[in-house]
Amino acid sequence: MLFSSKNKNRLVGIDIGTTTAKMVELSKSSRAVKVEHYACEPLAPGLIIEQQIKDIEQVGATIKRLMARSGSKNKRAAVCVASSNVISKTITVQSNMGEDELEAMVEVEADRVVPYALDDVNIDFASLGSADQSTDEEQLQLVVTRKNVIEGIVAVLEEAELEPAAVDVDHFALARVNDFVGQGRVGGGNARTTALMDFGYNTSRLIVFHNNQIVYTRENPYGGRQLIDSISQKYGLPPQDASHALRANELASSFKGEVLKPFVKTLMQEILRTLQFFYSSSTHNRIDQLLVTGGCTQIGNIDKFIEKRIEVPTAVLNPFAAIKLGSKVDKDMFRKDIPSLGVAAGLALRAIDS
């Protein structure tokens, strides 16, 4: 979104999270969409803090390992910036505006919403189609981010010997997956209010869609960190070892009852609270379906627990339900990692979206 090159046919989606980098590469033939490659690679603590890249060289080296692990030779990467690093706004314009006039208008609108000099920011916009009840007006999604954020992520890719093919925003990547998995569903998401939550390490993110358009987003400072901290305290492990033991299923038998259960309980409270915020600040008073993604949704049956607690049909987002797995993908590992791959899948889908 913030920029993209024309040849979209071959690219890898790379999601640089706080704790783990993930990549997905998809291909599309006349017969099917296929996962060609995928990988996850842990990021050392301190390299990404509050969604900011703190060490370009080390993050670049991690992405290099991620690509080597995946087996992909593709050099064109689609990446994303966190929505907390972006100011976005929907504006309505006349659809017959000339290019210069449109760019001038976008600059004026951007100047209104950003607290920085325009020289310090990247501005991008995309059409959202016609505005309601009018045929000669069009809605534009305006996206503004600080130049140093984009420069940081581009420098990481260069360090990893990759070429930046597209820089997106995490919410838009998730919205793309939401659209993709909604295709083929009866009613195709129309006149429905659905939500998607991403439970990362530091942050959980809620996106609410109505008629397939994003109508609400919210970020909360709650995520898998609380689980890792509890494991660290209970078993006297440094956070990196705690993360490793969790992933490798190597924790003592007391883990489920004494650590995981209380974490899931507070996670439920966070979800309820987040949804309450949404209901109280919008005209909506219910959602029809919740999809969840992010590392925390690897917890077995988490969707069933959530569904029971919030009384809304809930499922773990599976971007790959209608996608074939290529021969180079380790199927068991992949199945286990699906809950973590939402954002990377949304970025990879840029290659096959027509």
Ligand X SMILES: Nc1ncnc2c1ncn2[C@@H]1O[C@H](COP(=O)(O)OP(=O)(O)OP(=O)(O)O)[C@@H](O)[C@H]1O
Task: Convert 268-283 to b/e letters by CB count within 10 Å (16 or more is b).
Answer: bebbeebbeebeeeee
Q: Which is nearer to Mg ion, 18 or 88 (CB)?
A: 18
For position 17 contacting Mg ion by CB under 5 A, the verdict is yes
Q: Which of 154, 228, 306, 316 binds ligand X (CB under 6 A)?
A: 228
Q: Which of 38, 125, 180, 201 binds ligand X (CB under 6 A)?
A: 201
Q: Which does 299 bind (CB under 5 to 8 A by kind): ligand X, Mg ion, none?
A: ligand X
The count of residues interacting with Mg ion (CB under 5 A) is 2
- Tell me which stretch binds Mg ion (CB under 5 A): 14-22, 204-212, 260-268, 311-319: 14-22
Q: What are phi and psi of 65, to 5 degrees?
A: -65, -40
- Can you read off the two tokens belonging to residue 283? 């005209």
Q: Using CA atoms in the order 301, 271, 40, 242, what is the torsion angle rounded to 10 degrees?
A: -80
Nearest residue to 317 via CA among 187, 174, 211, 209: 174
CA distance 195 to 282: 14
For position 13 contacting ligand X by CB under 6 A, the verdict is no
Q: Using CA atoms in the order 1, 181, 345, 264, what is the torsion angle rounded to 10 degrees?
A: 110
Q: Which is nearer to ligand X, 25 or 219 (CB)?
A: 219
- Can you read off the two tokens belonging to residue 179? 């659209």
For position 60 contacting Mg ion by CB under 5 A, the verdict is no
For position 230 contacting ligand X by CB under 6 A, the verdict is no
For position 247 contacting ligand X by CB under 6 A, the verdict is yes
Q: Which is nearer to ligand X, 125 or 201 (CB)?
A: 201
Q: Which of 182, 200, 319, 346 binds ligand X (CB under 6 A)?
A: 200
Q: Which does 193 bind (CB under 5 to 8 A by kind): ligand X, Mg ion, none?
A: none
195-224 residues near Mg ion, rule: CB under 5 A: 200
C-alpha 66: how far from chain center: 18
Helices (H), the chain: 56-70, 99-113, 147-159, 170-182, 225-235, 239-247, 254-255, 261-280, 302-310, 331-337, 342-348
Q: Which is nearer to ligand X, 44 or 104 (CB)?
A: 44
Residues that bind Mg ion (CB under 5 A): 17, 200
Residues that bind ligand X (CB under 6 A): 17-20, 200-203, 223-224, 227-228, 243, 246-247, 294-296, 298-299, 340
